Amino acid sequence: MPPAPYDQLYIYEILGDARPAAVGLTADYLGLWLEEDTSFLFFAAPAQGQIDAILARDPGLRLRETHHLTYEQWQGGQHLAPLVLPGLMIVPAWQPVPDFEGQVLRLDPGLVFGNGLHPTTQHCLELLLILCAKGPLGRVLDLGCGTGILGLAAARMGAEAVTCVDLNPLCATTSRHNAELNGLAVEVAEGPAGDFLSRPANLVLANLHWEVQRQLWQPGPALLDKRDLILSGITRSQRDPLTELLAQCGYRVLVGRQTEGAWYSLWARREDPA
């Protein structure tokens, strides 16, 4: 199969928000990952000169560390290949689409989470397919969208409207790229998940860390119209606390998925949405 368009990755770890200073960069620049007070700038070739220029534009920035990885190492040593589920195939954007009777989603994961190979992503897709088989998905909110894989899969399955949200600017950029790649009209927004929970939606998709989820699932008006939740990103030890939180909000877990390792995913339904 054709290789990924990314090969060698040169990553510059800068203390501070480097977005305003990261201008006028060459075609080797792949994107910026902002995590708390640290910016990770990705290039396809060594770029120390460009980094020096960024640091000169903003003296408050400081180069902390540099990294050199292959793209396969960045993807956890996994070689990306099509993911085939009943009625849905996720195909790396640079590979030919095999014959398939069902929906096909082409995906360029770029440098962010959501290539379809992690068990939490696969479980969410499986639960989404189960829910879709029972009727229209309606309006969908994908919180912590990463590459946009879950929200875009929902759009491909006929969702009425989809909003993808991520705090990381590179995730938002990647999700928009994947929406365009598939000709799907979805809204992509950048910001904290909690700021968007009040958006109208019949289904919420959230593959997020426990610390974020424990803040999201609280009784209140933001959840009144959310009939279904498909959640992942938690461990087995966090399953019961999450289930209890959801029960307090009026949700009952209908289907769970658990790996042999640590991960747990679920589909929960509120039987009396507003």
Burial of 178 (0-12, 13-18, 19+ CB in 10 A): buried
Q: What is the three-class DSSP state of 23? A: coil
Domain spans of the chain, in order of start:
8-74, 83-270
Residue 258 has pLDDT above 70, yes or no: yes
Q: Which CATH architecture has domain 83-270?
A: 3-Layer(aba) Sandwich (3.40)
Query: pLDDT band at 117, cuts 50/70/90?
Result: confident
Q: What is the pLDDT of residues 163-204, one digit of tens each?
A: 999 999 899 999 999 999 999 999 999 999 999 999 999 999
Confirm if 207 and 121 have CB atoms less than 8 A apart. yes
Residue 2 has pLDDT above 90, yes or no: no
Query: pLDDT band at 273, cuts 50/70/90?
Result: low
What whole-number distance in Å separates Cα of residue 214 and Cα of residue 8? 38
What whole-number distance in Å separates Cα of residue 195 and Cα of residue 61? 28
* Percent with pLDDT over 90 in the chain: 82
What pLDDT score was predicted for residue 79? Answer: 75
Fold of 8-74: Alpha-Beta Plaits (3.30.70)
